[in-house]
Amino acid sequence: MYPDEPRVGDVMFVEFSPEKELLRAACSWNGKSYRLLSVGDTFAVALPVGLKSKVGARHAMVYWKYTDGGMGKARLPVTVCERDFGVQHLRLSRSQESKYTAEETRREKRLIGAALDRVGAERHWWGRFVMPVEGRISTGFGMQRYINDRLAYRHKGIDIAAPEGTPVRAAASGVVSLADDSFILHGQTVIIDHGHGIATLYIHLSQIQVEEGAWVGQGQVVGRVGVSGVATGPHLHFGVYAYHEAVDPFFWTDLPERGPGE
């Protein structure tokens, strides 16, 4: 398992090498069950240590069953480390703020949620992710965001300030699971499915340059930095999700060049 002392917002990579033909394997973590999927001769899963994870000594359980009926289980000790995410205050106009709860946003939230729910059997990502755009980090991951002095939500990605029109590149290879230019809250949005429950999100774009269902390689341009949706200036909101839970993008961009599972 890597790492065995993750911080809140990290991911834990669990790998299992069966001794004989495997029927199925799963891992229990944070009250949920995750299926281990094949990666070459091994089986693996990327477990989210989400923003609501409790800190301290914990454990995950791996269960497996062989095709001959044999079964087994293993207890994996985990120490979840605390971290300080900080606080950010934003000032929005009344019309901008109202979009967070507007009836029209239900469609975009549903479509984004459906794309993040996908768990492709084939894994398309390997090793370190690349930053989709270079620029100043204007909002970090996990920050408590106050809007007009009211606590609104925890920030589930990073905001990268960059000039409007700057190319936005795919952080890793995958299939475009969502490309929509009609959202009023998130603005022009692209989501890439990297397989095995991992997805990346790119919002507030000024232009989308890929279509749903298209294959994209790591570093391929998928859109342009913009200020669409509810945004206070041109930037890219970049999010990484593991099984629909937001995790820290910098965890992925700081991975070893040959990452876990290779």
Q: What residues does each domain of the chain span?
A: 11-80, 87-253
Q: Are 233 and 199 in contact (CB under 8 A)?
A: no
Distance between CA atoms of 248 and 128, rounded to whole angstroms?
Answer: 13
Q: Classify 98 as helix, strand or coil.
A: helix
Taking only the tens place, the pLDDT of each residue in 37-56 is 998 889 999 999 999 999 99
Q: What is the pLDDT of residue 261?
A: 43
Identify the sign of the CA torsion 9, 15, 21, 25: negative
In sequence order, which residues have a C-beta less than 8 Å from that of residue 150 and are 6 or more positions away? none
Does domain 87-253 fall under CATH 2.70.70.10? My reply is: yes
**Which residue ranges of the chain lie beneath pLDDT 70?**
97, 257-262
**Cα dihedral across residues 132, 136, 138, 143: positive or negative:** positive
pLDDT digit string (tens) for 187-199? 999 999 999 999 9
Q: Which helix (H) or strand (E) holds 106?
A: helix 105-116
Report the 10 Å Cβ neighbour count for 46: 22
DSSP 184-219: SSS-EEEEEEEETTEEEEEEEEEEE---TT-EE-TT
Q: Mention every residue, 6+ apart, whose C-beta is less than 8 A from residue 72.
A: 63, 64
Residue 63 token pair: 């269960």
Q: Which CATH superfamily is domain 11-80 in?
A: Immunoglobulins (2.60.40.10)
